[in-house]
Every structure is written in C-alpha cells, then in structure tokens.
Amino acid sequence: MIKKEYIRSVLNIFASSPFKPLVMHANKGGDCVRKLNESLLAFCDGDMEKVEELNREIDVIEHEADIIKQTIRSELSSSIMLPVHADDLLNFLKPQDSISDDAQEAAFWLTVRKFDAPPEIREGFIDLTEKTLQTVEMYEVLVSTLSELLETSFSKRDVEDTLQFVTKVEEMEHQVDVIEKELVKTIFNNEDIIGALGVYHLVRLVSGIGDIADKSEHAADRLRTMVLRR
C-alpha cells in the first residue's frame, strides 16, 4: 500500500513537470549521502549501533529512489511529450541512480568491521566524505536548474548557467580524487598497524565513497549532453 501511494504521488508530480521527479530522485541520492556522512562519523567514533541504524535508514531512502526511477522509466514509455530526447534522459538517469546505490553499498561496508586506525586515517575519511557530500550537493543544485530551463524554454542564458554548474561538479570530483589517492597511500603506509584485513576493508571504503563523486560527475556530464542535444 505504501509503495502504491508513493508511486501515485510521483505520477502526479510527473504530470505537472517531467523534470520534477528527476529532481526528487537526485535529492534522494543526496539524502543517502548525507546519512552516509553521519554514518562515517559514527563509524570513526566507534558507535556501531548508530552505524547500523543509519544503514537501515539509507536502505529505505535508496528504495524510495528506486521507486521514483522505475516510475520515470514507465512514464517515458508512454506518449508523453518531452523537451529532451528520451534516450538522453535515461542515459542521464542511470548514473544519477548509482549515487544512492553507491552510498548504500558504502554504508553497508561501514557495518562489517569496527574502525581501528591512526588519527590521520580518521581525518582522511572525514575529509573524503565531506568533499564527496559537497560534490553531491552541488550536483543537486545542478539538477534543480532543469525546472528553470523548462520554464524559460531553454533560454541561452539559463543553459549557460546550468553548464557552469556542470563544470563545478567536475572540479569538485577532481578534488575528491586527490583526497582519495592520498588516503589510500596513508592506509598502506600504516599496514603494520592496521593489518592486511584492515587495509583491504578501508581501501574498499575509500573506493566506495569515491565512486559516489564519480557517479555525480558522470551524471552531470550526461545532463550536459541531454541539454545540448535537445
């Protein structure tokens, strides 16, 4: 019943604007990453009970994102008129959906093993996750401009403003890459302290969190293609 009501609400929004559900979907990804940031802080503080609780909350949000994604796809198969190519929209939706998927995966990996590493690794993870969250939130701002583009019939000025946000997301993703590489080096340099299993676990976490920023950049690039090819 809850799922049917949720789908109905998304359909009502879709009827008023084909872009609003895309914004809703992007915001679900942002919500997942915000929860992940909370979970990472709890993980570093050794609060595994909170980590488990936040993991369950992220599972719920990711499921809601999937419902929105499925509803968007089903509506695109109808005769609805779109201001962009349907294929471009779907190609953009796929990496956007991976933001919540990757956040869910990283949140799970926080639950499997307690954090036991030197302070510099803790600080590295905090920096990585915060910068990843900033990247995703900049991406949310980018997606929010789609409704404005529709209202102004893709005016040249608004398109240029949107493309500037794409560049900002790309720049922030690069910053995440730099932090990610440095953190991996720091983890390996402390192998004698955290052990081989600890290295594997933490490097897997670094990769999983970094993937979120990668998907944001990828989705931003697809959004640029969608806007320019309309």
Nearest CA to 162 out of 178, 146, 140 is that of 146
CATH of 2-228, one of 3.30.2320.80, 1.10.3720.10, 2.60.40.10, 1.20.58.220: 1.20.58.220
Identity at 133, one-letter amino acid code:
L
Residue 147's pLDDT is 79
Q: What is the pLDDT of residues 24-81, one digit of tens each?
A: 999 999 999 999 999 999 999 999 999 999 999 999 999 999 999 998 888 776 556 6
Whether residue 173 contacts residue 217, with contact meaning beta carbons closer than 8 Å, is answered with yes
Write down the residue that tokens 């609805």 correspond to. 80
Where would I find the H helices in the chain?
2-16, 20-44, 48-76, 86-111, 119-151, 156-189, 191-228
Alpha carbon distance 102, 97 (integer Å):
9
Lookup: tokens for 8: 């109905």
Whether residue 40 contacts residue 110, with contact meaning beta carbons closer than 8 Å, is answered with yes
Alpha carbon distance 219, 169 (integer Å):
10
* Average pLDDT, rounded, for the chain: 91
Q: What is the pLDDT of residues 147-189, one digit of tens each?
A: 788 777 888 888 999 999 999 999 999 999 999 999 999 999 9
Where would I find the H helices in 77-155?
86-111, 119-151
Whether residue 122 contacts residue 44, with contact meaning beta carbons closer than 8 Å, is answered with yes
Q: What is the pLDDT of residues 99-141, one digit of tens each?
A: 999 999 999 999 999 999 999 999 999 999 999 999 999 999 9
